[in-house]
Amino acid sequence: RLTEAIRALKQQKPPPPPPPPPPPQQQAPPPPPPPPPSLSPPVELVEAARRAQEAAEAAASKSAANARDAEARADKTDREVAALAQKLRNLPSSDSQQLQTMLEDYRRETMRRVTDTDERMQSLSTKLDKLTEKVDTNANLNLAMLLRELTEKFDDSIKWQELVKGQITAVQNRQNATDDL
């Protein structure tokens, strides 16, 4: 969502001169009436920030492929946040404060998600290492068992071959003895 908001800000032309500050708002006020044309950019920014928040949540649900991508996104987000903060300084004070609060909340949430993703990547890496070690150990054990079984079968076949040779020799000796009589 923030990315969309930042794109919307980048595409916008510089805002018109600041209008007089709007009256202070209560927390959770009913939806305000449509703003006058001079306040349109801040309302668009709020909408863009909301869309950016939704997009960020959707992207977070898909999870990062690796920690480097997450760090790169965090660096990019920091640069975009800095650019957006500069534009916010030019807005009327109440709108600017509201958007700056949203921006700081987004920054904290993004950094938390990056940290969580990094921790999950570390955890998965550790689990993968343990699993690889276990598979290697099992493979080595299975290989040793197979090698031992093959050796035993080979030894058994050699003994059987010697037994058969002995029987053939005995039969030939009897046949030679019979032929000699």
Please give the chain's pLDDT, 181 residues, in tens: 566 666 666 665 555 545 555 554 544 444 444 444 444 445 555 565 556 665 555 555 554 455 566 667 777 777 777 777 777 666 666 666 777 787 788 888 888 988 898 899 999 889 988 888 888 888 788 888 888 888 899 999 999 999 999 999 999 999 988 887 7
Is residue 9 a contact partner of residue 82, using CB atoms and an 8 Å limit?
Answer: no
Q: Which residues contact 120 (CB under 8 A, 6 or more apart)?
A: 63
**pLDDT value at residue 94:** 65
pLDDT, position 166: 92
Residue 36 belongs to what H/E stretch?
A: none
The pLDDT value recorded for residue 34 is 46
**pTM value surpassing 0.85:** no
Provide the Cα torsion 121, 124, 126, 131; round to 10°.
Answer: -160
